[in-house]
Amino acid sequence: GAVVSQHPSWVICKSGTSVKIECRSLDFQATTMFWYRQFPKQSLMLMATSNEGSKATYEQGVEKDKFLINHASLTLSTLTVTSAHPEDSSFYICSASSGSSYNEQFFGPGTRLTVL
């Protein structure tokens, strides 16, 4: 099946710094990419949906100025956590879709962010 990678797989940073997470579709063109956040023992919560070349659509309650999403190409989307704080520590997962159908959504392995 289609492969989606994330980098880094885990990152530790100091409070107040910014962290960028990359999501790449390795063998297909992703017109839509999704960013999820998962807290321990919680379900995946959709943060935002991005279409290549367009501004991301954020879910209610997600601060767009804190979680900057860029989908500059059909194979790459980035999530930047700006001025990270300990409460931003979480597992961030991206997925990519080559179409509008839900069943074409392929998931990356996730990035563990720890903010000290």
Q: Which of 22, 39, 51 is nearest to 109 (CA)?
A: 22
Q: Which of 100, 80, 84, 87 is nearest to 21 (CA)?
A: 80
User: Which segment (11-19, 64-72, 74-82, 99-107) binds other proteins by CB under 8 A?
Assistant: 99-107
Residue of 19, 31, 106, 111 interacting with other proteins (CB under 8 A): 106
| Paired tokens of 92 | 């961030």
37 touches 45 (CB < 8 A)? yes
Burial class, 34, CB count within 10 angstroms (exposed 0-12 / middle 13-18 / buried 19+) = buried
We find the least distance from the C-beta atom of residue 68 to other proteins, in angstroms, to be 20
Interface with other proteins, residue 79, by CB under 8 A: no
The residue among 66 and 112 lying less far from other proteins, judged by its C-beta, is 112
Interface with other proteins, residue 61, by CB under 8 A: no
Q: Within positions 6 to 45, which residues make up the interface with other proteins, using CB under 8 A?
A: 34, 41-44
Pairing of strands 111-115, 10-13: parallel
Distance in angstroms (rounded) separating the CA atoms of residues 105 and 42 = 20
We find the least distance from the C-beta atom of residue 113 to other proteins, in angstroms, to be 16
Interface with other proteins, residue 69, by CB under 8 A: no
Chain residues that interact with other proteins, rule: CB under 8 A: 1, 4, 34, 41-44, 46, 49, 59, 93, 95, 102-103, 105-110
